[in-house]
Amino acid sequence: MQPILLAIDRFSAFMGKLFAWLILALTLAICYEVFARYLFRAPTSWVFDVSYMLYGTLFMMAGAYTLSRAGHVRADFAYRLMAPRRQALIDLSLYILFFLPAMIGMIIYGWDFFLLSYNQNEQSSVSPDGPLVWPFKFIVPFAAATVLLQGLAEIARCWICLRDGDWPQKLNDVEEMEVLALEEARRKYEAEQKGQPA
């Protein structure tokens, strides 16, 4: 089971890092608009549409990667002090009650949202020659499916933790600065207690 969970983590990381390159395209589009508007007095009609589509895609496609790294915001001041089994029980309950229905709903209704747009060959109405909107709307069910896949891996981890009493290994490619600072402080404190230089 562990190789499957790590493979899902790798997939989520790949998707997150792949779509992270959209930040470069977004930056270039906005810089182009600024130069065109203020230097050449020739503002574009398409950058607004492109910017919200790129940012929305970037935001949605980072969801699975963020979930795989436990990076979503939560009030965990009490949670982190709990035993792993209790953490897993809380996580599992929340995944079943809220996460699964929300992701399944986003996939189903997002797909209908996309199909309607695709069948109409919908274009943005914000700018005169607006870009096609249906590729952007396809991202809604696609992103929800990638988050759901990662969520299923997290649910499996909850079951493993409930069974074994400890969390199974996850892929880690980044560390929160808070975690690193606490580890460094702990190491210095232990060294001082032993009378060794830090």
pLDDT 10s digits, 11-51: 999 999 999 999 999 999 999 999 999 999 988 888 888 99
Beta-carbon contacts of 47 under 8 Å, excluding residues fewer than 6 positions away, are 29, 30, 32, 33
3-state secondary structure of 45: coil
Q: Given pLDDT bands bounded at 50, 70 and 90, which one contains residue 174?
A: low
Is the pLDDT at 198 greater than 60, yes or no? no
Which tokens sit at 101? 């229905």
Encoding tokens for residue 59?
Answer: 């935001």
**Other CB atoms closer than 10 Å to residue 161's CB: what's the count?**
21
Fill in the amino acid letter for 71: G
Name the residue among 143, 169, 155 with its Cα closest to residue 94. 155
pLDDT of residue 91: 95
pTM across the whole model: 0.82
Q: What is the pLDDT of residue 98?
A: 97
In this predicted structure, what is the pLDDT of residue 107? 98
Q: What is the pLDDT of residue 127?
A: 76
- CA 94 centroid distance within chain: 18
* Ramachandran category for residue 70: left, alpha or beta (phi over 0 → left; psi -120 to 50 → alpha): left
Please write the tens of the pLDDT for every residue from 71-130: 887 777 788 889 999 999 999 999 999 999 999 999 999 999 999 999 999 998 877 777
Among 160, 174, 189, 192, residue whose Cα is nearest residue 68: 174
